[in-house]
Amino acid sequence: MSLLTDRVAMITGGGRGIGEASARRLAEYGAKVILADMDLEAAQRVADSINAEGGDARALEFNVAEFDAIPAKVAKARELFGRIDILVNVAGITGSTPIDAITLDSWDRMMDIDLKSMFFVTQAVFAIMKEQRYGKLVHMSSLAALRGGRSSDASYACAKAGILNLSKCFALSGAPYHITSNAICPGNILTPMGRTLSWSKVDPKTYIPMGRYGTAEDVANAVLFYASDLSDYITGDFMNVNGGLYM
């Protein structure tokens, strides 16, 4: 379990769901973890649990949609352990508004939180990784990026598609500095957010080849691979985690 020994990982949205599961998995394999979440109480709960199990975790209040504060927040994250080796971008929202009911405000909110914030958080961490000449960037996209919004709406699908290209742009810029950038496209994952969507009420055996919904831990395993040196020669790529729902 020493795959990530001496590595420092920052996980946005680390207080619950896929972010929490990813933080726990990385800590299990030796990483020091920073739980960056706008809900400091939730992040602290996860950090306390990881520390009680012998890990090393810190909670950091971080609202990714407060754009002007991002550089200072990332600098504060760096101060916690002296470096940032791994960034896992999980923080985001979803939506299920019909396409003819999406408003300018709702569109902008989705883009701000799910795409714009991810770019500027990554940009701030990228500067640190360039100094280190090492880094692992992992971005949470979605199945909706590949096949359009089905249970989620068009603004969500478009933002998540943008993440795939964002990841490739950082992969191109980061390669000379030994920085990799990859994305993950989860399918129907039973997180607290997933349970609010219409698909969660349907028997998965009726349409998912593997016959079950995914778990946050399923996604965290993909995060572990991209965050570790096992993926050193993989960049600008994305991984599907969907039980065969999309092939």
Q: Write out the residue range of the structural domain in which residue 93 sits.
A: 8-241
CATH number of the CATH domain containing 51:
3.40.50.720
Read off the pLDDT of residues 164-181 as tens digits, 9 standing for 90 and up. 999 999 999 999 999 999
Read off the pLDDT of residues 66-85 as tens digits, 9 standing for 90 and up. 999 999 999 999 999 999 99
Q: 198 falls in which pLDDT band (50, 70, 90)?
A: confident
**Residue 156 catalytic?**
yes
Q: Please, which residues have CB within 8 angstroms of residue 2's CB and are 6 or more apart in sequence?
A: 29, 30
Question: Domain for residue 246, yes or no?
Answer: no
Tell whether the model's pLDDT for residue 7 goes beyond 80: yes
Question: Domain for residue 203, yes or no?
Answer: yes
Q: Mean pLDDT throughout 209-224?
A: 97
Q: Exactly one of 29, 156, 226, 246 is catalytic; which is it?
A: 156
- Which DSSP string corresponds to 21-38? HHHHHHHHTT-EEEEEES
Q: 10 falls in which pLDDT band (50, 70, 90)?
A: very high
The secondary structure of residue 152, as a DSSP letter, is S
Per the prediction, the chain carries an average pLDDT of 96
pTM: 0.96
Question: Domain for residue 3, yes or no?
Answer: no
Number of domains in the chain: 1
